[in-house]
Amino acid sequence: MTSILKVDSIQNAAGSVIMPVMAGGIIQVQSVNKTNSQGIAGLSFDDVMSVSITPTRNNSKILIQCNLNITAALSDASQTGARYSAVKLYRDSTQIAVNANATGNQAAVWFSVQSTETTNSGFQQNCASGSYMDSPATTSAITYKITAGNTYSSNHYTYINRPSYGFSDNYGYVHFGTSNLTVMEIAQ
SS3 sequence of the chain = CCCCCCCCCEECCCCCEECCCCCCCEEEEEEEEECCCEEEECCCCEEEEEEEECCCCCCCEEEEEEEEEEEEECCCCCCEECCCEEEEEEECCEEECCCCCCCCCCCCCCEEECCCCCECHHHCCEEEEEEEEECCCCCCCEEEEEEEEECCCCCCEEEECCCCCCCCCCCCCCCCCCEEEEEEEECC
Higher pLDDT pick, 110 / 5: 110
Which of 10-19, 45-54, 56-65, 80-89 comes out lowest in average pLDDT?
10-19
Across-strand partners of 73? 81, 157
Sign of dihedral through CA atoms 118, 172, 46, 87? negative
Report the alpha-carbon distance of residue 39 to residue 93 in Å, rounded.
Answer: 22
What pLDDT shows up at residue 21?
79
Which of 37-46, 85-94, 119-128 comes out lowest in average pLDDT?
119-128
pLDDT band at 18 (very low <50, low <70, confident <90, very high): low
User: CA Rg, the chain, in Å?
Assistant: 21
Q: How far out from the chain centre does Cα 187 lie?
A: 21
Is the model's pLDDT at 53 over the cut of 90? yes
What pLDDT shows up at residue 83?
83
Write the single-letter amino acid at 174.
V
Which of 10-14, 23-27, 125-129 comes out lowest in average pLDDT?
10-14
Average pLDDT, the chain: 90
pLDDT band at 4 (very low <50, low <70, confident <90, very high): confident
* 54-74 core/surface letters (b: 16 or more CB in 10 A; e: else): ebeeeebbbbbebbbbbbbbb
What mean pLDDT do residues 86-115 have?
A: 93
35-168+177-186 under CATH 3.40.50.10860, yes or no: no
pLDDT tens-digit profile of 104-157? Answer: 999 999 999 877 777 778 888 888 999 999 999 999 999 999 999 999 989 899
What pLDDT shows up at residue 106?
92
What pLDDT shows up at residue 59?
96
What mean pLDDT do residues 53-67 have?
A: 97
Is the model's pLDDT at 186 over the cut of 80? yes
What pLDDT shows up at residue 19?
63
